[in-house]
Amino acid sequence: MEQNCEESVRVAPPGVDFPVLVEQAETGTCFRFAPGNYRFGDVIPKDMMTFLGDDAQTVVLDGRGFENAFHGTASDVTIARMTLVGFDDDGGEKKQEQAPIRGTSALWKSDRGEMATDWLIEEVISVNNLVGGVFVGDHFTVRNSRFSGNGVTGIGGDDFVGGLIEGNIIDSNGRDGAGGVLVNSGGIKFTQAGSPDSPVVVRDNEVFANSSIGIWCDIGCDGFEVIGNYIYDHFSQAVMVELSQNALIEGNWILRSNEWTDFTRDWNAGSVTVGESRFVTVRGNYIQEAESGVVLRQTVRPARPEENFLDSYSRAVFELSDVIVIGNTFEDIGNVGLSVGSSPIGESQLATLSFSENAYLGAPTQYWWNDAVMSIDSWRAAGQDIVPGTALAVPTPPAVMQYQLAGTGTPLFERSSWPDDPEFPLRINTGGEGFTDQDGLKWLSDRYFVGGEVASHNVVDDMAGDSRLYQVERWGTMGYQLPVGNGRFRVVLHHSEVFEECQQKGCRVFDVEVEGVVVRNGLDIYSEVGGYTAYELIVETEVSDGVLDIEFGSIVQNPQVSGIEVIPLE
């Protein structure tokens, strides 16, 4: 990254003329962004250009009114160390190609000759955008970044070859994805991806709580590898390979993914689902706590008139064959096996499917084979898992996933990587460490945040409540996504104007949004209570998707919050 930036052009906020500056610059120019909030869109890089922020927390691209920040067909472009948030211009009903970083010349131009090549996306935070976090082109590398809260996908791509998706956090995406046969959402959703010579590799990522599928390659993928990822908390599949071929799913730890299954119907789901695909190996994964572990599925496709568009995909596969499930460990799994529903499957096709040397731990598992449910003995009599497998060691959850900014040693972001169910009332000391206050109430250390920065302040001891709550704050372009479950809640947001340079009216003004509703427009803490004084904003809300979303929008200066309380209502 640095080698392209021995000489650079310094860019300062708000950067409104930046697209013109790039257009006039020479190939290979390096642009360095100073800290601040930027407002621009539709930059078309030239070959070998670099766009480098000081760090991802302080360089924020505000996308309101834009569909993308960067797009085009250039080669060897680097984009690093910046936050991309709120890119919200709607490109139409079929919008899954939209993203603040888009490796194509235009929307719905992901064909040969219309896409970028060999881009490096590193140490970026792409959050709360209308559609996607990034839409890749050929041979993209996306690493050490976070993609969270985007409307359809964290990472998307179509009709591309090669690529490495490595070391990212991909969570809470897909709230606005299409449903039914047109479902298009997930943590990662690729179509027509890879080739046998240039596969797409997804490895060593943390993928969790996406509203549809964790990692998904669909309709004509031909070279796709999912290796060593930590995937958890999905209602549906953790990994899905569908209508595709030449895939490897290996060495992943999959936890609490797949809450539904029905082997008697044409449509079924497992933590890992191989649907209407061939030449797929599922090997050495540790799969825990799910209705189904691995499901091999054969369904007649196109299934109904709405799916007739599948006939236009020349690389789509419609037959399940040549799939091996070997050496996996299943713990507390309800079902595994072959799901055919009412779809026919031939003996020669059946002979190419096998479960081998898998280990089954914990609660009893049901085994399905060609529309028959079996015990472990009848499963082995039918030729599956004849040799019992040796259980893999239980993976050790990382306490914190933390990436380092190159050359600085400063964490890009931190997030607890093994979230416990919260205890209520839930109290978070935003920006700070956990403590027990003067009334004996327990405040947890900062967690569940998206974006923003932390600042410490000298505060007076006679503030209402416990002054320790106001010694630190989270501020900037930010939000919180709290996994509270469904129900009605009282939310108490604790604020105080403790910034010494903002001790006057109108210095800091911001909006507060809870569960998509603006609950306070134009909050000015100093106008409400003066400086160095506690202020509480109390709202009641209902959560239906399990995640309480809180967002803060800047009007003047930056939003701030000192603490959050969440109290269930009967």
456: domain CATH number is 2.60.120.430
Asked which of 355, 379, 414 is the last residue of a domain, the reply is 414
Asked if residue 281 and residue 162 are part of one domain, the reply reads no
Question: What is the widest separation between alpha-carbon atoms in the chain?
Answer: 80
Asked if residue 429 and residue 342 are part of one domain, the reply reads no
Is the C-alpha dihedral spanning 67, 61, 30, 199 positive or negative?
negative
Is 306 contained in some domain? yes
Taking alpha carbons only, the member of 239, 102, 94, 100 closest to residue 177 is 94
Asked if residue 59 and residue 175 are part of one domain, the reply reads yes
Asked if residue 455 and residue 536 are part of one domain, the reply reads yes
102 Cβ neighbours under 8 A, 6+ residues apart: 68, 70, 71, 134, 135
Asked if residue 408 and residue 373 are part of one domain, the reply reads no
What pLDDT sits at residue 129?
Answer: 92
Residue with tokens 């690093």: 80
C-beta separation of 55 from 410 below 8 A: yes
Asked if residue 467 and residue 318 are part of one domain, the reply reads no
DSSP state of 312: G
Tell me if residue 502 falls in helix, strand or coil.
Answer: helix
Tell me if residue 22 falls in helix, strand or coil.
Answer: helix
Structural domain count of the chain = 3
Tell me if residue 380 falls in helix, strand or coil.
Answer: helix
Asked if residue 452 and residue 369 are part of one domain, the reply reads no
Compute CA distances 266 → 269, 338, 344, whole Å: 10, 11, 10
C-beta separation of 475 from 536 below 8 A: no
Taking alpha carbons only, the member of 89, 7, 76 closest to residue 40 is 89
Asked if residue 238 and residue 105 are part of one domain, the reply reads no
Helix/strand/coil percent split, the chain, to 5: 10, 45, 50
For residue 254, what is the domain's CATH number?
2.160.20.10
> For the chain, what is the radius of gyration of the CA atoms?
25
Is 365 contained in some domain? yes
Is 204 contained in some domain? no
The amino acid present at 457, given as its one-letter code, is H
346 Cβ neighbours under 8 A, 6+ residues apart: none
Is 370 contained in some domain? yes
C-beta separation of 95 from 89 below 8 A: no
Taking alpha carbons only, the member of 486, 507, 512, 484 closest to residue 497 is 507
Model confidence pLDDT, tens digit, residues 353-394? 999 999 999 989 999 998 899 999 999 999 999 999 999 998
pTM, entire model: 0.73
Is 186 contained in some domain? no
Tell me if residue 554 falls in helix, strand or coil.
Answer: strand
Is 189 contained in some domain? no
Asked if residue 438 and residue 379 are part of one domain, the reply reads no
Give the structural domain span for 535. Answer: 421-568
What pLDDT sits at residue 416?
Answer: 35
- Other beta carbons less than 10 A from residue 312's beta carbon: 8
* Dihedral Cα 85, 58, 229, 103, nearest 10 deg: 50
C-beta separation of 222 from 198 below 8 A: no
Asked if residue 332 and residue 240 are part of one domain, the reply reads yes
Compute CA distances 169 → 84, 258, 360, 403, whole Å: 15, 20, 29, 10
What parts of the chain have a pLDDT lower than 50? 1-3, 399-420
Model confidence pLDDT, tens digit, residues 57-89? 789 999 989 999 999 999 999 999 999 999 988
Asked if residue 160 and residue 15 are part of one domain, the reply reads yes
Is 197 contained in some domain? no
Is the C-alpha dihedral spanning 258, 148, 102, 554 positive or negative?
positive
Pairing of strands 146-148, 169-171: parallel
Asked if residue 250 and residue 326 are part of one domain, the reply reads yes
Is 185 contained in some domain? no
